[in-house]
Every structure is written in C-alpha cells, then in structure tokens.
A and B are shown apart, each in its own frame.
Chain A
Amino acid sequence: MDQPTVGGDIATGAACVVGAVIGDFVLVPHGVYVPESVAGTLDSPAVMPVIMFTALGLLGAVLLAKALKARHGAAVAAARSIDDWRRAGGMLAICALYLGTIFVVSLPIASAIGLFAALWYFGERKWGLMLLVAIITPAALWLFFVYVVNVSMPQAIFELVNVYGIGAEAMWRTVA
C-alpha cells in the first residue's frame, strides 16, 4: 500500500499549499502570542512558524507542479484498491475509538476495549484468547507502571473498587 501515486502527489502538494495558507493567515495570527516589544523582529516567536508554513507552501507548490507534469507524461501508477483504504480506515477508526474511550473510561479499560477490537480487526478469531489478551495485557501494564515503577496512572475500574471500600492497594497487597 505504501507506494506513492501521481494522484496522491497532487493531493499532497495541494494539501501543503492549503495548509500553508491556513497556517500563515489563520493559525499564526490567532495561535501565536507575540509580545509587542518583539513584533516584526527576528526575535518574534512567530518567525519560525511563519518561515516553516511559507516553506511548506512553496514545497507543496513544487510537488504539485512536478506531479501535474508527470500526469501529462507516460505512466500513472495504479490506484490503490478500495479494500486497502477501507481496511486502513478501519484500523484508524479503531485507534480513534480507543483514544475516545480513554477520556470516558480511562486508559486501562479503554485499552482492553481497543485491544479486543484491534485483535478482531487483525483477523484473530479465537474468542477466548482474545478476551484473555485484552484483559491481561492492560492489567499487567497498569500494575507494572503503578506498582513497579511508581508511575501515576488513572485508576479506572480500580477506582470503583476503592469506592466500595475494598481498595486496589489492599487487594494488590493481598495478591502479592
């Protein structure tokens, strides 16, 4: 799938030009706070973003021109199959779902859901194994980060356990 196409180059070039225009005229003026004392000088915090957006636009224009020239030439690379796009889109959608659920049910639970979905999408069909991997992997990672390397992690379901007075830590101590 990772083979460039002339159509793709045209789209990329156009996206760079559009991105550069949006960057220079919308994002930088509204997204970069420039102190009055340095406005218009080389010391301004806006200098680097402006230079880079402008460079992106110019490079996009060059890519666009080269791609358009190539389209008038001999061969045009074969388009990617719809199935490839669908499959890549599906995987990206699972990533987006995973990310979205992190904010709702926190990282460990979201990881179990996301992992189960990804396993299924990758073609695994042993349901018992999928369930086991989807539960054990996030739980093991959570326990490792929280109790072995002492990194603060969201409590997720363990928070509920705390609410009901059992206490994740006490439970862990009992297990250990």
Chain B
Amino acid sequence: MNLEALVSASALLADWKVLLGVVAGVGVGMVVAITPGLTGVMAVALALPFTFFLDSTTSIGILLGIYVTSLYGGSVTAIMIATPGTPNAAATLLDGYPMARQGRAREALEMALYASLTGGLISTVIALAIFPIVATFALSFGPPQMFALIVFSITIIAGVSGASLVKGFIAATLGFLVATIGQDVIHGSSRMTFGSSELLAGLHILPVMIGLFTVPEIVIRCVESRGVRLQAFKGDLGPGLTLGQYLRLWPTYLRSSCIGSLVGALPGIGGAPAAFLSYFMAQRVDPHPERFGTGAIEGVAAAESGNNSVCGPALVPMMSLGIPGDTTTAIIMGALIIHGLAPGPTLFASQPEFVYVVFLLLFVCLIVLLPAGLLAIRFAGLVVKVRPQILFPVVLVLAAFGAYAIRNSPADVVSMFAIGALGFFMRIQAIPAAPFAIAFILGPLLEENFRRSMLMSGGSSAIFFESALSVTFLVLAVASAIATVFAHRRIAGFTKLTSG
C-alpha cells in the first residue's frame, strides 16, 4: 500500500465541497432507493451532467453517494410495505417484512442499516487492501467459471424452498421460463414475444419483483380485511436493535461481506444475487434454519451486508482494468474519463492518490449514510400511522407508477400485474416466491455463460472441467446440493413436528 498517496488522498477529501457533494449524493440516492421505479443507474446517469462543472473528487463523491445509498435504501420499503425499492432489496423482504408485521419494524430497519454499513465498510477494506489481487482474480473468470459459479449459486433454490422441495423447484422453473422472454442474448432472435416489440427487451427485474411480492400481499391483505378493522402493524415501529443483537451477528457480516466482495468484483452479476447468496449461506450455517422467512433478523443482516458489499469491489475491475462490471460503474467510469482520468492498468501507477480518493470517498459515503438512514427510519415510522385500508391501495398505485417509470412503458405495468396474479396463485398454493426471484435473476446469466462456453469450446462440455476454478465451483455446487437436500429434510421434519 502506498502510504504517501493515501495521506495526500485524505487531504483531498478535507474540502467542504467534496463533503457537500457526498451529502447531496446520499440524499438523492435515498429518494431514488425508496421510490419503486427509480434505480441507482437512472439517478447516477441523471446526475452525471451536473458533475461536468465540478472538480473530479466532488463529482465522484456525488456519484458514489448515489450508488452506495441506492444499494441500501430499497430495504426501507421492502421492510415496511413489502415493496422492494430496488431489486437488491428483494432478499431483505423475505424476513424484513414478516418482522415488521410482528411489530419489529424498527429492529429490522436498524439491522438493515447497520448491516449495510458494516458490509460496505468491510468490503471497501477488502477492496482497498487487496486491490491488485481482486482485479487479477476477477480477470480469471471467463464464461465457464462464471457458469460454474452460477450453478453453485442456484443451489440456493433448495434452501429457500420452504416445506416442499417440489414446489420450490416449480417456482424456480417458472422463474427461469419468465426470464427467457425477450431477445436471445447470443443470436438476437425473439423468444416468446409473439410479435410484441415491447417484450423484446425482456421483462424488467423491478416490475417482476414488485409483482411477485407486493401485489399478492395486497390481495391477501384485502381478503383479511373482510369485516375486520385491518391492522397493518402491531402498534408502532417496535423496539430498536440492541448492541448485543448487532454484535452477535459479526460472523454473518463477515461471511456476507466476503460473498458480496467476490460477487461484486465479477462483471455483470450485481447486488441482488449477492444478497440471495449471502442469505442462503446464513440460513445454511444457522442452527435453526426453519426460522428464515418467518422474521429472522439474521436473514435481514445477511441480505443487507451482502448486497452493500458489492459496491467497493465492483469498482476494482473498472479502476484497475478499465472494465466496468455493471451499468452504474460504467457511468462512473465515464465520469472519470470526462474529468481526464483514464481507468485501467496505468491508473494506479500514474495517479495512485486518486485511486485512494475513490475508496476513501466510499468510506465517507457510508458514514454519511448512517444519519441519512436513521432519518429514513424516522420517516418510515409515518407508514405505521397510515390506516391499512388506505396504505395498501396507495402502495398498489405507487407500484404501478414505479413499474411504468422504469422504461416509460405500460408493458412493464402489464408484466407487474401478470406476475402479481401468478404470484398470488403461487402464494395460496404455498409455492415459495424466493426461488422464482432467484431463478429470474440468475437464469439469463446461467444461460448466457453456458452458451458462450459452448461457443468457445465448439460444443464440448469438457470446457467446464478444464480450469481449477470452475471445477472447484462445480464440486462445491454438488456438495451444496446434497447438503441442502439433507438440511431441507431436517427443516421439513421440524415443520411437520411443530405444525402437527
């Protein structure tokens, strides 16, 4: 580590304009994240022109503020109204929303905030400390290795299948199928679009997540409202998180941060798979895995620290190799280029202090996120005061606006309601939504990397066994599948015991 550069980078941050930029970025990011339909990518793209007139450090501060906060903020609506503000928050919803319904909303919201901060800080330290190693490691991932990693990730499905593995796999199959709608990534041919140009781009992840989780919840709450005075939450936000509860979950933060860092450093995967993978691993090692999905605070901690851990490592391939891992980092890379900085192998050698500035800015963003998050929790308290007879219909309209705003397309509203109807029927048949969500997110990545590998090898599946990395992940996938089936039997046995 270049200490001299680190010190001069720290000095660059001691400027009120930079700090104001970070605060503005975090503020914008929070608004974006708690509004379904607005994504971090959209906000970073919209903010980019405003940074042309600012210096490079302030500009990056604004963009990173938006990026970091948009990863966290979606959890607030996921916990309070079962509507993930961003796709990253879908895994947080699995335990966060049940916690809110049990009168433990503040506990869930605070855990989401502190876990996000902890995960973000740990992963930034990892990214900063092993910057060149992470970059090289990420570069060794070609399509076969990515395919093997995704196969390993897909074993999560069995872990979140609830009482019936068959139903979990049915949900996953439906998720994979829905993900195939649109233009084929390799040949560009249309699949299941039946002449609709609106469907060519495929179904967007956010309307699908809102449809899957929010619409069925609204319909179920409507059924429950028959003849009774519906109660959205028990009393107020409930008690807050204790220091003991927070400290007890250190292994979860560490594990999820490592997972998030690995996933974040790989191009094109993103926060949502990191959150689900972290959630699954937390469930796997927990002595009472059956609690997950019913309001386990460990689930919220794992998902949030996992999804926020992607941001630091996601910048590593961009900064060190000039390869942006996702759209947001591509826009940030554009901002760097506009300001005369050339991300790539020479950046660290030519301007090491700027590399440190970026990572130190991440720390600053995370620190500013703390008061912003606490403020968001205060506002979340207002939701409790709204009567459910008004709250849920308003959420329905908010969801529709959110779905529309993503691509200015009524087709996204149609897909939200269509998936909502499917989600409702799945829910009344106890077909879990989580495997559907995971399959929908990972399906296109799995298929794309499988087919790219096939193209590379001329159709030979031996390509998956040629590198140590892909063999390792495939072996881990088999071991994980076997272990998960055994663990599932244990959970199903426990469920039968407690319900019977």
Contact = CB atoms under 8 A, between A and B. Distances in A.
Interface stretch (A137-145, A158-166, A167-175): A137-145
A60 B392 CA distance: 33
B219 interface: yes
Interface string A126-151: 00010001000110011011000111
**Shortest 3 CB-CB distances between A and B: which pairs?**
A118-B393, A45-B184, A4-B430
B141 interface: no
Interface residues of A, number: 70
A24 B454 CA distance: 23
Contacts of A52: 173, 176-177, 180
Contacts, number: 193
A87 B167 CA distance: 25
Interface in B208-246: 215, 218-220, 222-226, 230
Given A27-B192, A107-B404, A133 B394 contact: yes
A12 to B, nearest CB: 5
Interface of A: 1-4, 8-9, 12, 16, 23, 27, 30-35, 38, 41-43, 45-46, 48-49, 52-53, 55-56, 59-60, 62-63, 66, 80, 83-84, 87-88, 90-92, 95-96, 98-99, 102-103, 107, 111, 114-115, 118-119, 121-124, 129, 133, 137-138, 141-142, 144-145, 149-153
Contacts of A55: 169, 173
B189 A45 contact: yes
B401 interface: yes
B401 A111 contact: yes
Contacts of B192: 27, 31-32, 49
Interface stretch (B262-270, B302-310, B406-414): B406-414
Most chain B beta carbons < 10 A, residue from A52, A84, A144: A52
B356 interface: no
Interface string B189-207: 1111110000000000000
Most chain B beta carbons < 10 A, residue from A33, A84, A133: A33
B393 A60 contact: no
Contact of B400 (A4, A91, A111): A111
Contacts of A92: 219, 421, 424
A99 B390 CA distance: 20
A106 to B, nearest CB: 9
A165 to B, nearest CB: 26
B451 A12 contact: no
B435 to A, nearest CB: 12
B394 A153 contact: no
Given A31-B193, A56-B173, A153-B405, A42 B46 contact: no
Q: DSSP class of B's interface residues: helix, strand, loop or mixed? A: helix
A141 B401 contact: yes
24 contacts: A2-B220, A4-B428, A12-B170, A12-B429, A31-B192, A32-B189, A32-B191, A43-B459, A45-B189, A52-B176, A59-B169, A59-B173, A62-B166, A63-B170, A87-B222, A88-B223, A88-B428, A91-B218, A95-B417, A96-B417, A98-B417, A122-B390, A149-B35, A149-B42
A55 B497 CA distance: 31
A4 B427 CA distance: 9
B225 A123 contact: yes
B455 interface: yes
Contacts of A138: 397, 401
A122 B389 contact: yes
A95 B420 contact: yes
Contacts of A119: 389-390, 393
B93 interface: no
Interface residues of B, number: 68
Contact of A33 (B189, B390, B451): B189
B173 to A, nearest CB: 5
A99 B223 contact: no
Contacts of A3: 428, 430
Contact of A122 (B230, B430, B455): B230
Interface of B: 32, 35, 37-38, 42-43, 46, 166-167, 169-170, 173-174, 176-177, 180, 184, 186-187, 189-194, 215, 218-220, 222-226, 230, 387-390, 392-394, 396-398, 400-401, 404-405, 408, 410, 413-414, 417, 420-421, 424, 427-431, 443, 447, 451, 454-455, 459
Contacts of B427: 2
Given A83-B226, A153-B405, 16 more contacts: A2-B430, A12-B431, A31-B191, A32-B192, A43-B455, A45-B184, A87-B222, A91-B222, A95-B396, A98-B417, A102-B410, A122-B389, A137-B394, A142-B401, A149-B42, A149-B43
A139 B109 CA distance: 29
Contacts of B180: 48-49, 52
A114 B397 contact: yes
Nearest to B421: A92
B428 A137 contact: no
B173 A48 contact: no
Contacts of B393: 115, 118-119, 122, 124, 133
Nearest to A53: B177
Given A107-B404, A115-B396, A63 B173 contact: no
Nearest to B446: A48
